[in-house]
């Protein structure tokens, strides 16, 4: 029944799961690295095959676990959006695994890092392809537990407290989501995304479901004012972990929000609800940028920039509606989806690059106080160049992917006659520019004062030459995506669910 491409869908989950178990059993550094290399390579091959399969069939790829059909069994489903997320996650995981191999070097932490890392990948991949709302709850918890344990690798008091807070927020978020699932199952007797999307109608109970699920996922996505846990969790984790948390983990719950708001519960979503999401997004953009501007530590600054970037994602919700009845709603939906995908990809690459740069700075200096970065560009040119390019994409300067994302957002705002969002986007861009240039100004331009001069011999840890280039590679990818805008647009339109 299944096509060849469909048959290898489970490999997306099995490969990282096996890698996780094996690297838990064999904790020698070289063995763990070989396992990770093979797992990343395997995932790349599988993803490439799935991509080809999706292109050939030009419909969604489906797989039923154990051959059990929808009401009882668990289904996997890959459409354009899931494919995009899987490609993005596999790409980032491969680059970050390479970086992590050098970052953790010979430390005992590495032994605990790899099993958790691959467990996180298992959860992420499973989430992106699940078409069963309860299975999604389980994957949310796998992601949550693995991320918390990864944050707790920073075995200091601050790191552990951040991890505990992250865990409690994550558990609460998943429980709110589960409550929504309970109500949906009670009403419709099914857990399948597809059959729910056909059946859901407008009533009070479904409005309750929308509120519960959105609240739970918003908590996990860290939209202002539910963002309080993010800067500490992302700021205190080891660099590769911060990168994956900001680039992918918050996007996983956002991806579910998109699925629920634009597909499953779309009849229940009213215009005022969309406006509310936009309002939260605007608040997040401004608040995140202001806090980033005032941050004293580099990683906290980058984490607050994530808060702002999540705001842009939420800003796209109100653009699903238009006061002008002439505009086709399915066209609007496609435009919004494209813009969302662009923001997700642009931010993921830029943010991962930035956290890598910050990680290199911490490795070299032993701290990340922004005030003490004076003249560092002289000693760490590649890392600060990476920071600058990634920053340009986050600000939205051409020719980066961030520019295209913002351009799509502004276009949609003008098309749907919602000009007020334009003000938020421009203000956010300016504030982000101030925050980035504050760091660059110190690092590149300010002369070194004699007391802060960086002593090369005192460097805590000599960087492997590959480490800065892993970040630079990701930063250059954001530029490359700026030049090849169609790649993502074509991908998202593949295998539409309708």
Partner 1 sequence: MEGSLYTAIGIAMFGIGLFGVVALAQAMKKILAVNICGVGIFMIFIANSTAVNGSVDYVPHAIVLTGIVVAVAGTALALSLVCRIYDKTKQQVGK
Tell the smallest beta-carbon distance from residue 80 to partner 1 (Å): 30
Q: Is residue 192 classed as helix, strand or coil in its secondary structure? A: strand
> Which residue, 1, 16, 68, is CA-closest to 47?
16
* 338 DSSP β-pair partners: none
Alpha carbon 289 to its chain's center: 18
Q: Beta strand 75-78 with 61-64: parallel, antiparallel or unpaired?
A: antiparallel
Least separation, in Å, of the C-beta of 246 and partner 1? Answer: 21
b/e per residue, 123-162, with b = 16+ CB within 10 A?
A: bbbbbbbbbbbbbbbbbbbbbbbbbbbbbbbbeeeebeeb
List 25, 52, 56, 182, residue binding partner 1 (CB under 8 A): 182
Site mask, partner 1, residues 127-166, x = CB under 8 A? -------x--xx--x--xx--xx--x--xxx--xx-xx--
CA atoms within 13 A on the CB side of 194: 17
Report helix, strand and coil shares of the chain as percent, to nearest 5.
75, 5, 20
**Cβ-based nearer residue to partner 1, 187 or 493:** 187
Q: Render the burial of 198-223: b for 16+ CB within 10 Å, e for the rest.
A: eebeeeeebeebbebbbbbbbbbbbb
CA distance 145 to 34: 25
Residues binding partner 1: number (CB under 8 A): 30
Report the residue from 108, 189, 366, 381 that binds partner 1 according to the rule CB under 8 A.
189
Of residues 374 through 413, those in contact with partner 1 by CB under 8 A are none
Q: Given candidates 25, 168, 202, 414, which one binds partner 1 under the rule CB under 8 A?
A: 168
In the complex, the smallest distance separating the C-beta of residue 178 from partner 1, rounded to whole angstroms, is 5
| Binding of partner 1 by 175 (CB under 8 A) | yes
User: Judged by CB under 8 A, which of 46, 77, 167, 401 binds partner 1?
Assistant: 167
- Nearest distance in Å: CB 153, partner 1: 12
Residues numbered 32 to 71 that lie near partner 1 (CB under 8 A) are 71
Please identify, using beta-carbon distances, which residue of 21 and 327 lies nearer to partner 1: 21
Interface with partner 1 (CB under 8 A), residue from 1, 69, 72, 371: 72
Q: Which residues contact 362 (CB under 8 A, 6 or more apart)?
A: 239, 298, 299, 368
Q: Provide the minimum distance between the beta carbon of 256 and partner 1 in the complex, in angstroms, as a whole number.
A: 17
CA distance 85 to 94: 14
- Name the residue nearer to partner 1 (CB basis): 138 or 293: 138
Tell me which residues touch partner 1 (CB under 8 A): 71-72, 134, 137-138, 141, 144-145, 148-149, 152, 155-157, 160-161, 163-164, 167-168, 171-172, 175, 178-179, 182, 185-186, 189, 191
């Amino acid at each position: 029944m299944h096509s060849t491409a469909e048959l290898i869908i489970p490999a997306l989950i099995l490969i990282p799961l096996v890698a996780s178990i094996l690297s838990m059993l064999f904790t020698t550094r070289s063995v763990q690295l070989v396992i990770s290399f093979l797992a990343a390579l395997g995932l790349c091959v599988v993803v490439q095959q799935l991509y080809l399969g999706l292109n050939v069939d030009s419909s969604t790829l489906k797989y039923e676990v154990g051959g059990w059909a929808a009401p009882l069994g668990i289904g996997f489903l890959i459409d354009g959006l899931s494919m995009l997320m899987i490609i993005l996650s596999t790409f980032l995981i491969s680059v970050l695994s390479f970086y992590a191999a050098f970052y953790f070097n010979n430390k005992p932490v590495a032994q605990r890092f790899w099993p958790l890392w691959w467990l996180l990948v298992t959860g992420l991949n499973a989430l992106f392809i699940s078409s069963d709302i309860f299975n999604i709850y389980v994957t949310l918890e796998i992601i949550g537990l693995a991320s918390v344990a990864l944050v707790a690798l920073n075995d200091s008091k601050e790191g552990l407290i951040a991890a505990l807070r992250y865990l409690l927020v994550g558990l609460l978020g998943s429980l709110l989501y589960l409550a929504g699932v309970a109500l949906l199952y009670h009403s419709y007797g099914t857990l399948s995304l597809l059959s729910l999307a056909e059946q859901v109608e407008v009533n009070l109970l479904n409005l309750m479901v929308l509120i519960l699920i959105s609240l739970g996922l918003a908590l996990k996505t860290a939209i202002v004012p539910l963002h309080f846990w993010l800067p500490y969790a992302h700021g205190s984790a080891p660099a590769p972990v911060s990168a994956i948390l900001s680039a992918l983990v918050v996007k996983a719950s956002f991806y579910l929000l998109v699925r629920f708001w634009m597909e499953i519960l779309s009849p229940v979503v009213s215009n005022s609800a969309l406006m509310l999401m936009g309002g939260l997004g605007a608040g997040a953009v401004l608040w995140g940028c202001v806090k980033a501007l005032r941050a004293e530590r580099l990683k906290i600054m980058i984490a607050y920039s994530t808060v702002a970037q999540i705001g842009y994602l939420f800003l796209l919700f109100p653009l699903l509606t238009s006061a002008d009845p002439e505009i086709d709603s399915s066209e609007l939906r496609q435009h919004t989806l494209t813009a969302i995908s662009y923001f997700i990809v642009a931010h993921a690459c830029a943010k991962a690059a930035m956290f890598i740069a910050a990680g290199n700075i911490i490795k070299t200096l032993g701290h990340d106080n922004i005030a003490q970065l004076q003249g560092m560009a002289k000693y760490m040119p590649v890392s600060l160049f990476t920071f600058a390019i990634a920053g340009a994409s986050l600000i939205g300067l051409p020719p980066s992917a961030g520019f295209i994302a913002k351009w799509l957002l502004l276009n949609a705002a003008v098309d749907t006659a919602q000009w007020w969002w334009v003000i938020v986007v421009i203000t956010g861009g300016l504030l982000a520019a101030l925050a980035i240039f504050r760091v660059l100004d110190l690092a590149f331009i300010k002369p070194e004062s004699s007391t802060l001069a960086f002593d090369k011999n005192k460097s805590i840890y000599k960087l492997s030459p590959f480490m800065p280039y892993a970040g630079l590679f990701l930063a250059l990818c954001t530029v490359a995506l700026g030049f090849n805008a169609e790649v993502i647009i074509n991908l998202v339109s593949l295998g539409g669910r309708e």
